[in-house]
Structure 1
């Protein structure tokens, strides 16, 4: 099995938990890093678990995306699984009210956090001739108005809607597309939120399991969605949050 993991920033990343879980199941990995600044934090992790392909990917650079999928085609000839675990919004827009966000900031957040999934799936489709599984990462703020989540809420809602449409369009080819909605984790991306501590406290208080999710638990669910056992699961947003999403 061959898998592409996009979104590892460091050892605390949800994408890293997914990469470890897949590798533990014998999956061959391609892992990307955003730029030269990120490479020293990502490459040692990728080498640690024996990633066969380690390449840069700034999703705003079409030439890098083409080069990545070209390398996958040349080395493997196919792709079985792809994880899209990237999101970004300018801090000024993320920390303000949704009603005050700038057109430029909203467009950038939508492009990097949502449309990049569509672009990546377009590249992956011909490499998933027999079947394939695509997973992206979301958050409860896509469904509920979480005050500290700001403009990323509407962006993640668009991402989850895109998952459903992609699943509908690609299902005949055996390509499944799902979203994992994890509870709050202290990742580098989450550290940019206004009140991460408050989100974590609320989750601990409100989740039936009374525990925070870990990157390894998210990784285990991603591995399940790649497996044949999940071949009839597509177009879904699956919560891995200790049950917080069901709490009143």
Structure 2
């Protein structure tokens, strides 16, 4: 039974890095639903790796940091008859090669590069590909569960994700002038991905999250992917310009009595 009505639907997914990435989990689920998936990665080397993971998918190359590559992708897709019923934007990058710094010491060049790749690329891609999206397509981007918590080991990415979250409202409004395309965000809590593992201090935060989450188990990548797949489906047609938090209840449990007790004892 095709409850989500995804069989035969066509999707364009940006951001598959490896089998542990959110985009990979979304791709796997869409294929299981009978969808047709085209993947877009940032380099030829990445294309070779991803093609082995998903041999049934066409894999295209586009580094969204470069406008000419976005234009080239749009030109290539415009020559084809098919349109896409949905687009997934699962792209983020931050250069922490100089180590984590206090937020007020954030290098301008690194910040603007992260904004370009992690946030502006959504607008750039949707503008370039607007004629390749179905009239009622669903666009889903991946954010984080909260952009207002000053997590020191997340560096300067939270303000950038906040801009991404805001973008979906403005994209929904501007696209409504000529289509019914809707934009939404999946905002997961801490995930165990290859990208997150490279962030200094992230593992400790992940383990702490497992203590705060009521079920004592962190959010799984597949759980975030499942929400994205739902948002891509016609079954979620009434959800527009929203950020769906997938944190397994972490945000309601920061003042858990056991955690408070342990913290106070450690200070005494």
Secondary structure of 2:45's counterpart equals coil
Q: How big is each residue's C-alpha offset from its partner over 1:31-67, in whole Å with a ceiling of 9 and x where there is no partner?
A: 12211332332121131xx11x311110012232223
Matches of 2:33 and 2:133 in 1, distance apart? 20
Q: CA deviation at 1:26?
A: 1.1
- Structure 1 stretch 116-125 or stretch 85-94: which is displaced more? 85-94
**Superposition RMSD on alpha carbons, in Å?**
1.7
Alignment-derived partner of residue 45 in structure 2: 37
The aligned runs of 1:128-139 (5 Å cut-off) are 128-139=133-144
The aligned runs of 1:176-215 (5 Å cut-off) are 176-215=182-221
Q: CA deviation at 1:136?
A: 0.7
Alignment-derived partner of residue 26 in structure 2: 18
The aligned runs of 1:17-166 (5 Å cut-off) are 17-47=25-55, 50-51=56-57, 53-92=58-97, 95-166=100-171
Alignment match of 1:216 (pick from 203, 207, 222): 222
Matches of 2:135 and 2:99 in 1, distance apart? 40
Q: How big is each residue's C-alpha offset from its partner over 1:167-219, in whole Å with a ceiling of 9 and x where there is no partner?
A: 22224521111111112222222123221112211211111232222222222
Give the TM-score normalised by structure 1.
Answer: 0.92
Unaligned runs of 5+ in 2: 1-8, 255-268
Give the TM-score normalised by structure 2.
Answer: 0.85
| Number of equivalenced pairs | 245
Bigger helix fraction: 1
Unaligned runs of 5+ in 1: none
Alignment-derived partner of residue 167 in structure 1: 172
Q: CA deviation at 1:92?
A: 4.0
Matches of 1:15 and 1:75 in 2, distance apart? 24
- Higher alpha-carbon Rg: 2
Secondary structure of 2:19's counterpart equals coil
Matches of 1:110 and 1:41 in 2, distance apart? 26
Alignment-derived partner of residue 235 in structure 2: 229
Matches of 1:214 and 1:88 in 2, distance apart? 21
Secondary structure of 2:104's counterpart equals helix
Q: Runs of 4 or more off by more than 4 Å in structure 1?
A: none
- Shift in alpha-carbon separation, 1:94–1:112, aligned structure 2, 3 A: farther
